Structure 1
Amino acid sequence: MSAPTVGFIGLGIMGAPMAANLCAAGLNVNGYSRTRARSEALTSRGLRVADDIAGAVRDADVIITMLPDSPDVEQVSFGDGGVIAHARPGALFIDMSSIRPDTARVIGAQAQSRGLRFLDAPVSGGEQAAIDGTLSIMVGGAATALAAAEPVLKHLGRTIVHVGPLGSGQTVKAANQLIVAGNIELLAEALVFLAAHHVDTDAAISVLQAGLAGSTVMDRKARTMVAHEFSPGFRIALHDKDLGIFTSAARAVRTATPLGAVVAQLMSAAHAQGDGDLDHSALLRLVERLSGSTTPETGSAHD
């Protein structure tokens, strides 16, 4: 059988390496980005540049969107120039962005009414996992649609799990973002606490990693936080958006999230104080400011 054709829309920090991995796997990838230079940067990897959304999706067996927020996905999905208007009936439409669960359900319902098979399939793992093709993918929608999508998704993720009907993927992603933010905030508080007591921070990280406090967040973020290296793998602005999705969804079903509410406020404060374009581990800077500490500028992403 010939390799499937994929229309890939959104070639930012996450989308670009994901599209590159599909090209490397031998799939035919038509890429579209509002910033054309992002598409052109991937032509050496085998990506074909589409001039518009219609050109990206018209001949696609699978359409993937990887965009910043709910309005962006709505914009490329709907209207005369959108995915739903130009995708051929029977095509798989997989939104891998992080958006509101209710938005995913609305887009999915309209896509299905036009004969498309829709999945909401947000991811976790950050930029490095996107590069490595080891993302965790949480999928909402019909199990039959996921079975058809797996030959493509396997090139993007190591863990692909069906979590329920449309919108469920986004609900699980909101929970993921809560847990990650909480981990980063507590790690930031611990690092500031250790520094204030003049502990050997590197040694402390090593022993904490080996115990129950150890986590993927600690493994990936602790030492770069100490070094104040905050080049974005996942920006504070996007995590702030995701925590807004979580708090809204939690309010809709009246679940108590007292710690979640606090960490959402802290992420929002870091965003408001000008750190939105830094990696989410830059929550450390907010904790330092609250503690009256001085943030070193050497190695800072503000340099």
Structure 2
Amino acid sequence: MTASSATVGVIGLGSMGRPMAERLLAARGELIIHARRPQPELVAAGATWCATPKDLAARSDVLLSVLPDLPELEQLLEGPDGLLADDGELLIMVASTSSAPAVRALADRLRERTAGRVRMLDCPVSGGEDGARAGTLSIMLGGTDADAALAAEVLAPCGNPVHLGPLGAGEVAKACNQLVVSATILALGEATVLADRSGIDLDRMWSLLAGGYAGSRLLDTRRDKLITGDDSPSGMAKYMVKDLRFAADIAAATGTETTLLPALSAAFDEIVERGLGDRDISVTRRLVAERGRAPAADDTNES
């Protein structure tokens, strides 16, 4: 089977899955889809709707899962209408940010249960909704050489797929990515509050600093949100809690004593505890601002 001859299916058509499906459909001219809600726009564009996961599996050679995590995928495996109810060969590409050990364990179970006809590959992505729409995602592949080569061709319309190692390697890379993202957005939130309370024009400051070492893709995409304080959701902060938990699992498994990870986990746990988990990750500005009181203009230091 080659990428050009394979029939590709997508399950999970949310904020990331929908634009990825649109990219795949535009590149391939056909796509098999299933989701909780009907997708008339995709069907009108040429996609084939399947009423059940079983039907999706029966019509697909390669299935991209853009569900939130493995438990959501596992719920769709079982039963008379589940993915495993079909007896054909299937490569499941898992795009969720998930636990690397859990991905390997599920792959082992599927391989044993289906005598090898159902295989898995992990392909978590980074770049957010804007990257999914533009087809510029960083796609982290973990799996066998053959499966990764097939996946890289299939997923090329969505961004830059790179094979990083055996099954689970993509999830390890994504955990590393999220460690950097969470540290950066927390630093940006803190710096924004410090500058704002010091009377600095935030627009001017971030325009200036973006050209130096403080510049980043995250600053480019969240700059306006940090300046205005509008943390309406794009990438919800609550998902970082599980991502950092997966990073902690990898740290434990590799005997790595981390410095930033415990503090980052505590900060995003606090965001969720404050009821802000559904806000954009730029909510770190609000977190820092709510933690401390801005000094009044007539505050003085007394000796």
Identity %: 35
| Residue identity matched to 2:93 | I
CA-to-aligned-CA distance 1:240-288 (integer Å, 9 cap, x gap): 2211221233223331122111111111111121111111111211011
Partners of 1:3 and 1:27 within 8 A in 2 = no
Instruction: Report the secondary structure of 2:255's partner residue.
Output: coil
Give 1:128's aligned residue: 130
Which range moved further: 190-199 or 238-247? 238-247
Partners of 1:92 and 1:149 within 8 A in 2 = no
- Provide the C-alpha distance between the structure 1 equivalents of 2:294 and 2:141, rounded to a whole number of angstroms: 42
Q: RMSD of aligned C-alpha atoms?
A: 2.0
Alpha-carbon spacing, 1:111–1:156, altered in 2? closer, same or farther (3 Å)? farther
Q: Report the Cα offset of residue 41 of structure 1.
A: 4.3
CA-to-aligned-CA distance 1:155-179 (integer Å, 9 cap, x gap): 111x211111111111111111111
Which of 5, 11, 32 is the matching residue for 1:9?
Answer: 11
Give 1:183's aligned residue: 184
Which range moved further: 213-222 or 118-127? 213-222
| Residue identity matched to 1:30 | I
- Provide the C-alpha distance between the structure 2 equivalents of 1:204 and 1:220, rounded to a whole number of angstroms: 16
Q: TM-score, normalised by structure 2?
A: 0.89
Alpha-carbon spacing, 1:212–1:5, altered in 2? closer, same or farther (3 Å)? same
Alpha-carbon spacing, 1:175–1:87, altered in 2? closer, same or farther (3 Å)? farther
Alpha-carbon spacing, 1:242–1:215, altered in 2? closer, same or farther (3 Å)? same
Instruction: Report the secondary structure of 1:31's partner residue.
Output: strand
Q: Kindly tell me the number of residue pairs found equivalent between the two proteins.
A: 290
Alpha-carbon spacing, 1:54–1:202, altered in 2? closer, same or farther (3 Å)? same
Equivalences for residues 143-158 of structure 1 within 5 A? 143-157=145-159
Give 1:261's aligned residue: 262
| Residue identity matched to 2:121 | L
Give 2:67's aligned residue: 67
Q: Report the Cα offset of residue 226 of structure 1.
A: 1.3
Q: TM-score, normalised by structure 1?
A: 0.89
Unaligned runs of 5+ in 1: 295-303
Alpha-carbon spacing, 1:42–1:291, altered in 2? closer, same or farther (3 Å)? farther
CA-to-aligned-CA distance 1:52-98 (integer Å, 9 cap, x gap): 11111212121110111231122224555433442622x32211111
- Provide the C-alpha distance between the structure 2 equivalents of 1:4 and 1:189, rounded to a whole number of angstroms: 48
Unaligned runs of 5+ in 2: 296-303
- Provide the C-alpha distance between the structure 1 equivalents of 2:79 and 2:94, rounded to a whole number of angstroms: 17
Partners of 2:54 and 2:84 within 8 A in 1 = no
- Provide the C-alpha distance between the structure 1 equivalents of 2:22 and 2:211, rounded to a whole number of angstroms: 35
- 1:106 and 2:108 matched: no
- 1:30 and 2:32 matched: yes
Which range moved further: 135-144 or 79-88? 79-88
